[in-house]
Every structure is written in C-alpha cells, then in structure tokens.
Homo-oligomer: A and B are copies of this chain.
Amino acid sequence: MVVFEPFRKGVGMVVKRNTWQREAVRSALGTQMGFVSAQGLHAALATSGSHIGLATVYRALADLANEGEADSLQSPEGEALYRACSLAHHHHLICRSCGLTVEIEADEVEEWAHRTATQHGFSRPEHVVDVFGFCSACVPPQ
C-alpha cells in the first residue's frame, strides 16, 4: 500500500547557520520569474559567477521550502520546482510555454477542499491545486 507522508516536515529543527550559499540561493530564487529546478538554479548561479555546489543548492531549496520561504511543486515530468512566493497560502497559474507564474488566491477552493474532505470523513486535509495553461503572450500550439 502506498502511504502518503505529510507534505511538510515537522517542527523541532535545529538552528540553521547563515552562509553565503544559502543567501545566494535565496537571492537567485528571487530573480526568477517562474518556477525553477535545483539544477536550473545551480546553472543560473554558475553563470553569474557563483561557485556554489549542486548539492548545496538542493539542500538550500529544500530548506527554504520547509521554512515557507519558497513554494515547491512537481512539474508534470516529475521534476521538483521552486519559486520564491508570498507567505500566505495560495495557488499557481503557470504558463506551459514561457513559465510565467501568477499567484492566485482561491478561498473558494480552500473552502471546497475542506468541505469535501469533511463530507467524506477525512480529517486534516491538505491539497494540491495548480492550473497550467498558455499565457496571453504565448501562442497556443496545435
């Protein structure tokens, strides 16, 4: 049986030290207009002259996501992608062509998710809600 673990790890974490690497990742993530993979961000950092290691980028992104400073989602191909986001819970509208990302609030969906879970006797619901499409600047192929 497949068991789904909680999305975010528990609390009780040890103190994190401040390194230029973590700051470089946080900063680089902020310059991205859409979601990026760890590999992509590492490449971007390398291009801008940083000698940060790939494993460190993976670790920093995972930390940022855990601390709520970044949102993460999985591309349809299964790659983990990250993006610097606002603190409040929200969802994303993502252009499949250029990656443009719009943060969307959806009280309607929040309420629906909770109501649906409750109706079926499920407790502590969490949800994954992402919308993909083609932004107005991108010509829909086909």
Contacts and interface: CB of A to CB of B under 8 A. Distances in A.
A76 B4 contact: yes
Contact of A127 (B10, B34, B132): B132
B76 A2 contact: no
Interface in A78-112: 78-81, 93-99, 102, 104, 106, 108-109, 112
A30 interface: no
A35 B94 CA distance: 26
A15 interface: no
Contacts of A20: none
Contacts of A5: 76-77, 96
A55 interface: no
B128 A134 contact: no
A50 interface: no
A31 to B, nearest CB: 12
Interface in A32-49: 33-37, 40
Given A4-B76, A93-B120, A102-B120, 8 more contacts: A1-B33, A2-B36, A109-B129, A124-B134, A124-B140, A125-B133, A126-B131, A126-B133
